[in-house]
Every structure is written in C-alpha cells, then in structure tokens.
Amino acid sequence: MIVKLTTKLLTATAIVAATSASAGDLEVMHWWTSGGESAAVSELAKAFDATGNTWVDAAIAGGESARSVMVSRLIGGDPMGAFQFNHGRQAEELIEAGLLRDITDIAEAEGWKDIINPPSLLDACTVDGRIYCAPVNIHSWQWIWLSHKAYADAGLDVPADWDEFVAAAPMLEKAGKLPLAMGQQGWQQSGLFNVLFAALVPNEVFLSVYDDKDAEVATGADVGRVFAAAADARAMASGSNVQNWNDATNLVITGQAGGQIMGDWAQGEFAVAGQVAGTDYSCLPGLGVTELLSTGGDAFYFPVLSDEAEIAAQSELAALMLRPATQVAFNLAKGSLPVRGDIDLSTANDCMQKGLALLADGALLPDTNQLVTPDTAEQISTLFVEFFADPSITVEDAQARFANIIAIAE
C-alpha cells in the first residue's frame, strides 16, 4: 500500500513536471512499474531520447487506476503525448469520439502490414480500415511458473502439467510451502480462470463463450470442469495474502511457493532476480496441457494534439517502437514476444523460445481483452474476487453467475 501511494505521489510529480515540458518533449503514460517492466520501458525511453526528443515518463502503478487516469485526462481535454493500452475493445469508444490520432500514414510508410506477426495484432489496432495504435509486444497469459527450489525442498519432481501440479500440492503444504501463489486482485484472479479455461477445454468452447457469448455453453459440463479446477486453485492459494502480482512472483522466486499462474511478463521478474530458466525455474505454456498462447499485448495510442512539434515527436515514437533494434531490446527486458517475426531473438531464454515456437506454429487464441468489453471484464473480475475470497461459494453457483454475465454481454 505504501509503495502504491509513493508511486502515485511520484506520478503526480511527474505529471506536474510534464506540463511544463517544452516542445519535442512527449509525455508517455503507462503502468509498467515492476522491476522487469521498468527495465523494459527505459529501453524505449533510451531509444526515443537518442532521436533528439525527450521521453517524459509518467508511470502509474496498477493497470486499473492508470486506465481511469488516462481516460479522464483524454475526456477532460488534457491529452498526454502517448499512452499504453491493452489493445482491443478498451479503446473503441475513444476512437469513435475522435480523441485518438489516426496513424495509418506512419504504418504504411513503415510497412507494418507486412512485418507484424500475427496479423491479428494489427487488426486489433484497426477500426474501419484505419490504424490507431502501435503494437509493441505480444503477451500471453497461459503460463505457469514453477520454483525448482520449492519442489526440491519438498523432495518432489517439478510437475510437468496442471494435474501433476494439483497432485503435488498436499506434499508442498506438508513441507510448509504455499502450493499456488496468487495476488488478491480481480484481474489476476479472473486472468487465472481464463488460463484454466484456455488450457483445460477445447478452443471451440473458449471461443463460443467469449466470442459468440453463448450462455448455454457457459452452463455446460466443459465450463464446469474449468470451475472445478478454479476451486482447486482456490484451495491451493488459500494461504496467499499478497496483493501485487510481482509480490506473488517473488514468493515463487524465493521458493516459498510452488508456482504461480501469470502472464509472460512474470519472466522479467525472474530475470531481474538473476534466475535462469530451466535450472532455477520452469515455465509451462498452456499449463502443460494444451500448449497455446493468447495474443494479447500492449500497444501505444497517440491522442490528437495541436502542437506541431509534439505531433512530429509522436510520429517518430510510433515508427521507432517497431524498429528491429527497439523490439529486441524492449522485449528481452520485458520477457514478452516481439511483434515482428523477422528479427533475431537467439539470445532469448528457454521460456521465450517456447513462446516463439508456439507463435511460429500458430497455436494461438485471441486475448479476452479483444473479445469482451471492459464492462463484462469488470463483472467477471468481481465474480472471481468473490469466488476466491469466499470458499463457501460453490462451483455450481459461480458457474451459474458466470453464465448470466455471458448472457448479457455484448
């Protein structure tokens, strides 16, 4: 909490500083505040500063609070120079309202259409044939991170899939370890559910629930299995009382917890802690059950501005973000996958190579952010906040409420 408040204060100072910035300075807002994330963002800032412009950093801890600050500044007529968003349906209305800059000309000049892989990333930035955002990385949620130390201490082998992980939980508990680390925040809890959903049942079920919003499928037996697995996760995470995802990751890094289900951004934390994939920790895409990735990710949007110098700086930043050198430096630090398939990432570690291979094979799913509105996402997140906090909520009850949310979703 204190850390959060401090970051907020620092952010406030950053905003104040930014308003007095001169032309060519671009205020960039994002929510990359953990160790690995800020290492990655400083790579972007370095590259941007090298072009003669100045990156004015405005980081806000926590995606949810950051998004509300960004939206209220945009609507209130006080736009920043550029901001990070999860592309998909979150920005839909901002684009409709004409608040965001059309960057199709830059995309065409840089040939984004040919280099961005998978093309669905650019589609998520496209509204009515015009491009509004620059995708910078691919993030996938479908990973479980396992601590070798925790399993060694308990005298166990590191699990190879979700079922083994669940089976090993009682032994870990006996050894005084927490089987599953999980931060007590809605987005982490509903994210974990979506990972179980993507990994444990066939893709068609996932898509008919999230894409077609078929409430009947959501009440079915397949989704029932996902909820049963979520109840297992709830039992395994019952001793986990950290809030932030990186605090939960830290439990895995230090061997206090067996594993954590978290997106590939967790890898940046392992890297900062000096851990080596394969010897200190393992990663299983798709929980080792169905190996696939969802292609969510981060993108930068550029608000409509009036100052010529700032507009030029925006254009330069947008073009820069997809250049090979920036992509390599940024993604290696962040642990995410690059948005272009034509660059050399042989220096990437074990886990990233697994991700790159899946990307090349096309074992991909769309990210839930691209399928459901923030409204539906918030309802699902509230459901799981409640579900994970209260063991008295039955699997059947939770599933029925989930189906209701899907039924009214758009």
- Residue ranges that bind another protein, judged by CB under 8 A: 1, 64, 67-68, 71-72, 75, 90, 93-94, 96-97, 184, 373-375, 377-379, 382, 385-386, 388-390, 401, 408
In the bound state with another protein, the residue whose beta carbon lies nearer, of 64 and 222, is 64
- The DSSP secondary structure of 35-89, one letter per residue, reads HHHHHHHHHHHHHHHTTT-EEEEEE-SSHHHHHHHHHHHHHTT---SEEEEE-SG
Q: Tell the smallest beta-carbon distance from residue 381 to another protein (Å).
A: 9
Residue 328, number of CB atoms within 10 A of its CB? 18
Minimal distance, residue 93 CB to another protein, in Å: 4
Query: Closest approach of Cβ 60 to another protein, in Å?
Result: 13
Of the two residues 13 and 72, which places its CB atom closer to another protein in the complex? 72
d(CA 210, CA 366): 10
> Do 157 and 133 form a contact (C-beta atoms < 8 A)?
no
Least distance in angstroms from the C-beta of 269 to another protein:
23
Which residue's CB is nearer to another protein, number 120 or number 243? 243
Q: Which is nearer to another protein, 78 or 96 (CB)?
A: 96
Amino acid at 33: T
Alpha helices in 155-297 (DSSP H): 162-174, 186-200, 203-210, 215-218, 221-236, 245-253, 266-272
DSSP state of 282: E
Q: Is the peptide bond before 79 cis (omega within 30 degrees of 0)?
A: no
Rounded to a whole number of angstroms, the minimum distance from the CB of residue 390 to another protein is 5
For β-strands 82-86 and 298-301, DSSP reports them as antiparallel
Q: Of 71 and 209, which has the nearer Cβ to another protein? A: 71
Cβ–Cβ under 8 Å, residues 167 and 191? no
**Identity of the residue, 332 or 398, whose beta carbon is nearer to another protein in the bound complex:** 398
Q: At 178, is the secondary structure helix, strand, or coil?
A: strand
Query: Smallest distance from the beta carbon of 364 to another protein, in angstroms?
Result: 26
Smallest distance, another protein to C-beta of residue 208, A = 23
In this structure, the dihedral spanned by the alpha carbons of residues 42, 47, 48 and 53, taken in order and rounded to 10 degrees, is 110
Cα–Cα dist 253/270, whole Å? 7
Query: Please, which residue, 311 or 393, has the CB nearer to another protein?
Result: 393
Nearer to another protein, 64 or 164 (CB): 64
114/92 Cα distance (integer angstroms): 24
CA distance 388 to 242: 13
Measured from the CB atom, is 215 or 363 closer to another protein? 215
Reference 286, options 366, 377, 355, 361; nearest CA is 355
Instruction: Tell me the closest approach of the beta carbon of residue 69 to another protein, in angstroms.
Output: 9
| Among 164, 219, 226, CA closest to 201 | 226
Q: CB of residue 240 vs another protein: minimum separation in angstroms?
A: 12
